[in-house]
Amino acid sequence: MDVVFGLIPMMLFFGFLVVVVFIWMAKSGQFDDLDGAANSIFMDEEFDEELKKKETDSKMTELSESKEDNSSS
């Protein structure tokens, strides 16, 4: 019976500690993106690099076109 009187406060303390850690993790944003890591395995790095290159090329084209429009005005 003496063991029970020691275990009950210890379990209450650990339960309180778990709740505090869970609240801290929720406030710090640990649960914001649950699917990002799971879906990252399906993303192809080469595809990402090609997409970034296309975006950069399109931005450069837009900039050159806007410079041409400004110079002709």
* Alpha carbons within 13 A on the beta-carbon side of 65: 6
- The CA distances from residue 25 to 13, 15, 20, 31, 60, in Å, are 18, 15, 9, 7, 42
Instruction: List the chain domain ranges.
Output: 1-32, 40-73
| Cα(12)–Cα(20) distance, integer angstroms | 12
CB 31 within 8 A of CB 25: yes
pLDDT at residue 10 greater than cutoff 90:
yes
The pLDDT value recorded for residue 40 is: 73
pTM of the model: 0.47
Q: Could you read off the pLDDT of 13-49 as tens digits, one per residue?
A: 999 999 999 999 999 988 888 787 777 777 766 666 7
Encoded tokens for 34: 């649950």
User: Which DSSP symbol is given to 41?
Assistant: G
Q: What is the pLDDT of residues 41-73, one digit of tens each?
A: 777 666 667 777 777 877 777 767 776 666 655
